[in-house]
Amino acid sequence: MLERHPIVAFLNRLMRSHQELKYRAVEVAFDDQAEVFAAALKEAETSGPATLSLKEGFEYPGYYRDVEFHIKPGSYFVNELAGLQYHYTMNLFMRRVAHADESNRSYVNSLPEPEDGLVERVLDLACSVGQSATALVERWPGAEVHAVDVAPAMLRYATLRANGMGLPVHFSRQLAEDLEFEDGSFDVVFCYILFHEVPQDMARRIIREAHRVLRPGGRFVVVDFMSRPTSDPAFTVDDYMRAWDREFNGEPYSVAFVRGDFTGALAEVFGSVVADHPLEGGGSYMSMRVATK
């Protein structure tokens, strides 16, 4: 009903057009030097200190392949410069605080270590362009940090960035719901804004995989949207914006995540769950959940 109001309809169209024009402008900005950027990305694959492993014969799952997330043309896996475009676009969206990874660093610095203080291996799920992964290396410089994502374009740019920072992150192309790591092989698994981008059944599979690869006492730390009940009138505007994201902004799974019981899903698998761990820089809509195996 609300979207039929002329002012609301105008606002919907304005926000959608802003997104479309933003992506178009960013793509045009990099087109003239596409070959130069592509060559730099290729060189970064083997130049170190970061490493990159791209699995051959990889098939995108339907929930990812069939969605243009955030209405970006081709999502994040068609254009080989998608990682570079994403980083630049996020810098615009975050009002220039994404360039130096400020948000990611603040979240990583907020996460609690295992009680025994042992952090030798860390995993970053759905690492995007590696902003959290590099922050994890900075937080624990003696640890071996692995980072996985499904999109080669994102992983290549993540590798380029990590190399430029002199940080030895081990990037690989893997599904968060079907990891190739051994049981109990990580002390900390970190995940930033993945779960509102996947269907709820897939979220439960990812939770089980995180539990599997963690050692006893290890931490699974998730930074994502807060869960909010639809019956609370204080969140009416927020509910509408989530619905707008679902209908017009390539966010088909976010409403179900926000309205669901993600903390409860964690508690079904993990022995201990803190639903709202203190989070530096999280604002009024982000939450840190900490699950301990």
Cα–Cα distances in angstroms (integers) from residue 171 to residues 75, 125, 126, 228, in the given order = 20, 10, 11, 34
- Res. 73 pLDDT band, cuts 50 70 90: confident
Residue 290 has pLDDT above 70, yes or no: yes
* pLDDT score for 147: 99
* Residue with the larger pLDDT of the pair 236 and 158: 158
pLDDT of 95 reads 57
Task: Provide mean pLDDT across the span 173-185.
Answer: 98
Q: Quick one: pLDDT at residue 133? A: 98
What pLDDT score was predicted for residue 2? 61
**Separation CA 243–CA 264 (nearest Å):** 23
SS3 track for the chain:
CHHHCHHHHHHHHHHHHHHHHHHHHHHHHHHCCHHHHHHHHHHHHHHCCCEEECCCCCCCCHHHHCCCHHHCCCCCCCCCCHHHHHHHHHHHHCCCCCCCCHHHHHHHHHCCCCCCCCCCEEEEECCCCCHHHHHHHHHCCCCEEEEEECCHHHHHHHHHHHHHHCCCCEEEECECCECCCCCCCEEEEEEECCHHHCCHHHHHHHHHHHHHHEEEEEEEEEEEECCCCCCCHHHHHHHHHHHHHHHHCCCCCHHHHHHCCHHHHHHCCCCEEEEEECCCCCCCCEEEEEEEC
Task: With cut-offs at 50, 70 and 90, classify the pLDDT of residue 99.
Answer: low
pTM: predicted TM-score of the whole model, two decimal places: 0.90
* pLDDT value, residue 3: 66
**pLDDT reading at 193 higher than 90:** yes
CATH number for the domain spanning 103: value is 3.40.50.150
Which domain range does residue 183 map to?
Answer: 2-292
Confidence (pLDDT) at 7: 72
| C-alpha separations of 137 from 104, 122, 236, 242 in Å | 12, 9, 40, 33
Average confidence (pLDDT) over 156-167: 97
- Average pLDDT (44-48) is 93
The whole-number pLDDT of residue 229 equals 67
Number of domains in the chain: 1
Residue 225 contacts by C-beta under 8 Å, 6 or more apart in sequence? 193, 196, 254, 257, 258, 285, 286, 287
Here the contacts of 202-205 (C-beta below 8 Å, separation 24 or greater) are 202/61, 202/63, 202/177, 203/257, 203/262, 203/265, 204/265, 204/268, 205/177, 205/178
Between 20 and 176, name the one with better pLDDT: 176
What's the whole-number mean pLDDT along residues 91-113?
77
Residue 131 has a pLDDT of 96
Q: Mean pLDDT, the chain, as a whole number? A: 88
Please calculate the CA angle 104-234-263 and round it to the nearest 5 degrees: 50
Q: What is the pLDDT of residues 223-275, one digit of tens each?
A: 999 887 666 666 566 777 777 777 777 788 998 999 899 999 999 999 999 99
Closest Cα partner for 164 from 54, 86, 49? 49
Residue 1 has pLDDT above 70, yes or no: no
